[in-house]
Amino acid sequence: MFLNLIKKRRSVRSYLSKPVERKKIELCLEAARLAPSACNSQPWSFIVVTDENLKNQIAQKTYSKLIPMNKFTENAPVLVIIVKEASTLLATFAGIWKRRHYSLIDIGIAAEHFCLQAAELDLGTCMLGWFNERKIKNILKIPRHKRLALIITVGYPESEEIPPKKRKLIDDIRRYV
């Protein structure tokens, strides 16, 4: 049941040192590739970082002494950087007209497709929006005009325990009219 997969998917911040098979990463990327997007613009590309030295350089740009919350990225075997690419002309104009960032919505959907596929494969993930974009772009030689949307950590969770989700009650978020 799909709801069971959603319950299984969680933000993992503690990983085993076991490498992640490329085939599993490819399945996650395929799930993300198939995500819907405004005007089918598919405004994303993915950089999969598995090289230990490069991964560590990037991980160190996701936290600081002052804000150490993402230090766990150093333990993730894989980092996936989602680069925001240009939308189609129609999606761009629609976004301006409606004052909505459709490309960011699209990237969020693709990222969640990636993470749900990872959960199905018994991989753990965590999406990060807090990182030093400029320094990571320099490390990966990404052009200045491009934006990094998210980083997803990927690996085998250290614990198989799935803690209960703390969410608002359905009656607090639902309204029929």
Identify whether 144 is part of a domain: yes
Identify whether 15 is part of a domain: no
- Per cent of the chain over pLDDT 70 is 100
Identify whether 67 is part of a domain: yes
Identify whether 133 is part of a domain: yes
Q: In what order do the strands lie in the sheet with 44-49?
A: 44-49, 78-84, 147-155, 124-128
Identify whether 166 is part of a domain: no
CA distances (Å), origin 140, targets 64, 83, 103, 153, 176: 19, 11, 22, 16, 48
CATH classification of the domain holding 93: 3.40.109.10
For residue 20, pLDDT over 90 is answered with yes
Domain boundaries, position 112: 22-159
Q: pTM to 2 decimals?
A: 0.94
Identify whether 104 is part of a domain: yes
Identify whether 77 is part of a domain: yes
The total domain count for the chain is 1
Q: What is the pLDDT of residues 31-61, one digit of tens each?
A: 999 999 999 999 999 999 999 999 999 999 9
Q: Positive or negative, the Cα torsion across 87, 150, 136, 58?
A: negative
